[in-house]
Amino acid sequence: MSLQACAELVERGDPDRFLATMAAAPAARAILFPIYAFNLEVARAPWVASEPMIAEMRLQFWRDVAEEIGQGKPARAHEVAEPLAGAVQAEDAPLLDALVAARRWDVYRDAFEDDARFDAYIDATSGNLTWIAARALGASEEAQQAVRDIAWGGGVGAFLRAVPELESRGRVPLLDGRPEGVKALAERALARFRRGRAAQSKISAAARSSLFAFSTTEPLLRSIVADPHRVADGRLGISEFAKKARLLKTSVTGRI
């Protein structure tokens, strides 16, 4: 029942990742859904409360869950925390904690201090999430850089898609929001994504389903490079047909 609850949470809150997970083998879904449900709960924690203190408390709950996983304590009787503890390893606790800690940026209205802080945020959120999932599915340490490169490119794409919503909520998401700055960021993300994709042979076949969620990253970033105004205008949608076609190809070939 907890696994079903995780799947339903992801289906409601992150439909693209839900479709990507359903394209994976059933055994992989049992690992991915709890991890993605955890990510969803953490990502929305800063936004479900108007008071920063309450948001911080929600994030602290998940930091406590990560600490308990690291200490090998019995899982909390919680619809996400319990299956999460069964899906990940104790060694993943620092990565889980860093993911939650990075989301503190979402609580407040401060801009990123510099490129290094922004890069670290993407790596701690998208990068940690994807590496935890890949490792849980059997990826070796040799695959980590490729996984993180792919996830970084995909994370930037998702972040750029969220820019209009972030700005409407009073955040300052981009260090350089000019079209030139947006294009440069998308180019950097695309280059790193392609570097990871070129090295995906280092990722075991079973672990590659952790990358299915990035099946549309390439066309998304390419569209931003071609017309960076799409970000501010909120015109970054990919048709459902194209999305499903790319996901089908990815699931059949095992390559993004």
Does the pLDDT value for residue 238 go beyond 90? no
pLDDT attached to residue 47: 93
Q: Are residues 17 and 142 both part of a single domain? A: no
Query: Which residue, of 108, 124, 145, is where some domain finishes?
Result: 108
Q: Are residues 95 and 143 both part of a single domain? A: no
Query: Would you list the DSSP string of 74-119?
Result: PPPSSTTHHHHHHHS-GGGHHHHHHHHHHTHHHHS-PPPSSHHHHH
Query: Which residue, of 108, 143, 158, is where some domain finishes?
Result: 108
Please enumerate, as own/partner, the contacts of 144-149 that have beta carbons within 8 Å and a separation of 24 or more.
145/196, 145/199, 146/196, 146/197, 146/199, 146/200, 146/202, 146/203, 147/196, 147/203, 147/207, 147/210, 147/211, 148/123, 148/196, 149/192, 149/193, 149/195, 149/196, 149/197, 149/199
- How far is residue 193's CA from residue 153's CA, in Å, rounded to a whole number? 5
Does the pLDDT value for residue 212 go beyond 90? yes
Q: Are residues 133 and 75 both part of a single domain? A: no
Contact 146, 207 (CB under 8 A): no
Q: Are residues 210 and 89 both part of a single domain? A: no
Structural element, H or E, at residue 217: helix 217-226
pLDDT attached to residue 1: 61
Per-residue pLDDT of 95-143, as tens digits, reads: 999 999 999 999 999 999 999 999 999 999 999 999 999 999 999 999 9
Q: Are residues 99 and 142 both part of a single domain? A: no
Task: Quote the percentage of the chain above a pLDDT of 70.
Answer: 100
Q: Are residues 5 and 104 both part of a single domain? A: yes
Query: Which residue, of 47, 75, 108, is where some domain finishes?
Result: 108
Q: Are residues 146 and 255 both part of a single domain? A: yes
**pTM, entire model:** 0.96
C-alpha of 33 from chain center? 13
Q: Are residues 182 and 215 both part of a single domain? A: yes
Q: Are residues 173 and 139 both part of a single domain? A: yes
Q: Are residues 2 and 89 both part of a single domain? A: yes
**φ, ψ (nearest 5 deg) of residue 109:** -105, 10
Q: What 3-state DSSP class applies to 142?
A: helix
Q: Are residues 85 and 199 both part of a single domain? A: no
Q: Are residues 80 and 156 both part of a single domain? A: no
Into how many domains does the chain fold? 2
- How far is residue 203's CA from residue 206's CA, in Å, rounded to a whole number? 8
Per-residue pLDDT of 59-93, as tens digits, reads: 999 999 999 999 999 998 999 999 999 999 999 99
Q: Which domain holds residue 1?
A: 1-108
